[in-house]
Amino acid sequence: MGKFEMIPEARKSFLDSLFEAFSIIGDDTYVYLCDMQYDYSRWSKVLVELFGLPGEYMYGAGDIWEEHIHPEDREVFHEGIENIFAGKSSGHDMQYRARRKDGGYDVCTCRGIVIKDESGKAQYFGGAIRNHSRQSHVDKLTGLRNQYGFFLDVQSHINNQKVMRACVVGISGLTEINEIYGYEVGNAILQKFGRYLMDHVGARGGTYRMDGAKFAVITESLSYEDLENAYEEVRAHFREGVKKETLNIPIELNAGTLAVENFTTDDQTVYACLNFAYEDSKRNKHGDLVEFYNEINKDSRKHVEKLHDIRNSINNDFEGFYILYQPVVDAKTEKLVGAEALLRWKSERYGMVPPDGFIPFLENDPIFPILGKWILKQAMTDAKRVQEIMPEFVININLSYAQVERSDFVDTVWMIVDQVGFEPDKLCLELTERCRLLNVDLLRNVMTALRAGGIRFALDDFGTGFSSVGLLKELPFDTIKIDRGFVQKIEEDEQEKKLVNNFTQTAGIFETSVCVEGIETVGMRDILKKYSIHSFQGYYYSRPIEIEELLGALNSESGALCFHRD
């Protein structure tokens, strides 16, 4: 407490009076009030007891409360409080998970305002925290249990070691329905679907309204075959259409399911697996029911356990995560010009796990953007060390569609660039195959906003997707990266030579540079040098290496590192 100035008794008395006034109107909420001049607060007694806080009166309550907030939600909370005390914000309205005294988490909505004196100086910050987990778990629109109830029920099954099957079902195109017919029609569809689902499946399990157009089912009695049959009946019914006055609107569905037969996981991991299966149904299986890994066996359970451990690693200060760097060399001089950052995760139980072993499952998980921020910051921080030796060094970082589609993505990138003190024109963001699932207008807006400040963009795996050339036409890429699959046999395959030639000519039309991945032999290098290619990447030059190894090699060559092995 030494760093805080003691609050005078007069101000403390006024704080108590103001707190009582807040409490009268704080219907069914936990009230808090802070004297901003002394950073001295009074908090609701019920909240203090439930969450194990030091007491009703606290100095530095923001920092104390932050320690109780779930690691995934902590950064947003911290930034909001900093903005309030810095005078940049007059209040906040946010939702987060807070850790109770027993170690569990409750979902809370926190709303607060700054109270200023006559001169405009901030004096008090106060508001109310509504604990959704201690209130009704009923969705007001459909009458079903809501997603908070779903998470509680999943965790209850796990805690009590009850085998269950969970399923997420979603309505396709509800956004378009709302835009065309209005929200009244969209809400009527949600209500009718929820009722029908409960009537059809509810007797054999619980039915839940999740976020947006998604619903969920938990059952202890239905096998995969039973659930699939029930889903197909529901699917057929809604394909015939939902009637609303003179309208009859056909509805298409998507669904993913998972059997929970081991109990070393948690509710959030189960939901991440369900979302992965759901997205597979939506994007690749035309709405058919997809089971996580399409089988109920030991391998599937191992994947759930692995994902659970990975999520815990993210929450535990990214324990086990590290980045390797694969050098990129100039195609003419073969000297180092940059590197691609490649994420890895390692544990005693699973050994080293490459990103394709967990990224696809995490992309629909709320925790993923936190990992994405860590990758960006760590890669730029490491790249700055290289730039002390080689100032023109460019770092390439892969993006996930789950990062790019977030409304705060552009701001997040600039925030990290500023934090690290990184030169924007030495950063190249690579859009992977799955980013092509995003709306082109969204991608264009993101790219335009970041390229305006100097950041570069590369189209990864060029040629592997049916829309590669279309994307190159629509979006302002600086580089295309030709996938290794197009050059593996280039020493003896004339078709591959023609393809590479066509790719480089196409890039020339759009004034885009070309990088070829997967260079493994001197023969491949010699052939590819004949084309209009700007840079090479592959095991012929270097495997992915740790930052210290890269720095050591640079230091040994005084910054003029040549990676080829002739």
- Decide which of 266 and 59 is more confident: 59
Q: Where does the pLDDT of residue 389 fall: very low under 50, low under 70, confident under 90, or very high at 90 and above?
A: very high
Res 422: pLDDT: 97
The DSSP secondary structure of 347-360, one letter per residue, reads ETTTEEE-GGGTHH
Half-sphere exposure of 277 (CA within 13 A, CB side): 27
What is the residue-averaged pLDDT of the chain?
86
Identify the CA nearest to 310 among candidates 366, 267, 359, 238. Answer: 359
Alpha-carbon gap, residue 378 to 365, rounded angstroms: 21
Model pLDDT for residues 126-157, shown as the tens digit of each residue: 988 888 666 567 788 888 888 888 988 898 88
- Is the pLDDT assigned to residue 366 strictly greater than 80? no
Which amino acid, one-letter code, is at 199?
D
Quick check: helix, strand or coil at residue 273?
Answer: helix
Model pLDDT for residues 540-557, shown as the tens digit of each residue: 999 999 999 999 888 765
- Mean pLDDT, to the nearest integer, of 453-482? 84
Which positions ≥6 away from 42 have C-beta within 8 Å? 15, 16, 19, 32, 33, 56, 57
Model pLDDT for residues 473-511, shown as the tens digit of each residue: 888 999 999 988 889 888 988 888 998 999 999 889 999
Res 25: pLDDT: 63
Model pLDDT for residues 194-220, shown as the tens digit of each residue: 989 888 776 567 889 998 899 999 998
* Rg of the chain taking only CA atoms, in angstroms: 27
Model pLDDT for residues 15-66, shown as the tens digit of each residue: 988 888 877 665 557 899 999 999 999 998 888 888 999 999 999 999 999 9
- Is the pLDDT assigned to residue 470 strictly greater than 80? no
Q: Where does the pLDDT of residue 2 fall: very low under 50, low under 70, confident under 90, or very high at 90 and above?
A: very low
Which positions ≥6 away from 50 have C-beta within 8 Å? 100, 101, 106, 131, 134
Model pLDDT for residues 213-248, shown as the tens digit of each residue: 999 999 988 888 989 999 999 999 999 988 887 888
Model pLDDT for residues 59-92, shown as the tens digit of each residue: 999 999 999 998 888 888 888 888 888 888 888 8
Helix runs in 182-244, H state only: 183-201, 224-239
Which three-class secondary structure string do you get for 398-421?
Answer: EECHHHHCCCCHHHHHHHHHHHHC
- Is the pLDDT assigned to residue 180 strictly greater than 90? no
Q: Where does the pLDDT of residue 445 fall: very low under 50, low under 70, confident under 90, or very high at 90 and above?
A: very high
| CB contact at 8 A, 150 and 142 | no
Helix runs in 105-223, H state only: 147-159, 174-181, 183-201
Res 454: pLDDT: 96
Q: What share of the chain has pLDDT > 90, as a percent?
A: 42
Res 466: pLDDT: 47
Res 178: pLDDT: 86
Model pLDDT for residues 104-129, shown as the tens digit of each residue: 788 788 888 999 988 889 999 998 88
